[in-house]
Structure 1
């Protein structure tokens, strides 16, 4: 399946969420629309990846990101871990009409507490299609 890393960001993601065109993964947020067979879809997606598409080890996250950057057909730049303490949102457009929302984070909270990694945050679409979402998750599984 052809893929393209887009220049879309949180503003785009938030707009799609307000339009009801975002299926959050792994958990639903209050105010999100209900989708057909939503529980079953989350269950099927979670079975695909031992990490549940959420890698919290910094080095493992770097490896997954490197692998991901290698399989894009088109990209204006590379996905990377944040340069400063923050999170970065990335949107990957697939030819089946699904866009994956992937987030990288490297946050230090003080007192030795930190969080880092890469995770799948959701699926963006124009028309909800369970099969297309599953196909997108299978595509991402190649690197997660």
Structure 2
């Protein structure tokens, strides 16, 4: 087991420019399989291209994160002793569309920037919030 802190060159500046004025920065988990890791490290997280088959996208093609590591661990698809990769990323939600029902979407709902699937259990963001000095929760 190991923990690494990585930041792609220029990523912070690109994020600041693209997300200027958007709130709700959260530290969230992304689980991935070994075959995707090098691409993620080289190019960042990307939405699947239009020609990619639609399979397993409960809310449409997008980049999926979770506030619970155990949920993201399920997407690592590694078996036995094979390594599993969990990324902890600063995610800018902006104004999220909150739902408890999986609905396939091509774009975020009007007036929103992201989709947040509200779970039945854990964590209660209002009761268990920790905010860092830079405003990230």
Structure-1-length-normalised TM-score = 0.26
Larger radius of gyration: 2
Higher strand residue share = 1
Instruction: Between the two structures, name the one with larger relative contact order (CA 8 Å, sep ≥ 6).
Output: 1
Tell me the TM-score normalized by structure 2: 0.27
More helix by share: 1
